[in-house]
Amino acid sequence: MRLRIHAGSLTRLVSGLAATALMVVVAGCAKKAHEAERKRSAAASPAEEALVSVADRYADLNSFSERTQITKTVSDAEGQETTVYQTELSFRRPNRIFYEMTGDDTTVIACDGKRLIVYSSAQGGYVEDDPPENLAAFVRDHHADAVGLDELLLLAGSDPLEALDDVAIAEGESFADQPVQVLRGTVKQIAQDESAETVSATQSLYVGAEDGLVHRVVTEIERGEAVLRTEEAMEGPAADPTLPDDRFKYQLPADAENLTPDA
């Protein structure tokens, strides 16, 4: 999962051609309301049907967890720079989430159903807020700039065909010694941005043949002479794991400053 600060609101930290920054993301959504808000475009090909099937798989989960290693490589005429960091995500409906990103700095997002805390070691403090009404509302209000698909969009029941276009499917491949189905598409959001110097923007999802979960994501964005390649390798993605309440609590460091506006 990738996160970033969205102007003026608590939202997600998305890897971009610039440096990664802090944002707030939280999930909270009862299953009945969540399913009622789900919408789907009509699939026009077997590849689109496969992508919708993956989205439905995530949208029907009551809980989810995974660990991810993210490798971001930016290349241009002057060379390339690679950054590696790790994330851990736990999610349980109706409104529980724990997300931790570690690298040079640490970011923690925790919601125990009563309050939302976002801590950043780089900022030396935290912000606190009430949890959003539900994950679908969060995506609708704050996640419109998402690049392609990620776990939050899938868990929220978002329409995958609004994120990816020209979807193609490849069978017979493997990742981490298990067979996968590769779904590759053009990232609509960037392809439709006429103001950008984008030459191409694609995303490939490696879906496990046995569990139907995404085990690898590769996103490539070419903008002018700069190319951003982000690879997410998921370790141990789990569908409907048993997650205790304590998993979603976070003990702030003693010296953490309260950065909440008007605190």
Q: Which two tokens stand for residue 175?
A: 């990742």
Question: Which pTM does this prediction carry?
Answer: 0.82
Give the CB-side neighbour count of residue 120, counting CA atoms within 13 A: 15
Per-residue model confidence as pLDDT tens digits over 231-252: 999 998 999 999 999 999 999 9
> What domains can you pick out in the chain, each with its CATH number?
31-241 (2.50.20.10)
* Residue 69 near residue 235, CB atoms below 8 Å: yes
Per-residue model confidence as pLDDT tens digits over 173-222: 888 888 999 999 999 877 555 555 657 889 999 999 999 999 999 999 98
Taking each continuous run of H as one helix and of E as one strand, the counts in the chain are 5, 12
Q: What is the pLDDT of residue 194?
A: 58
3-state class (DSSP) for residue 126: strand
Judge whether residue 145 has pLDDT over 90. no
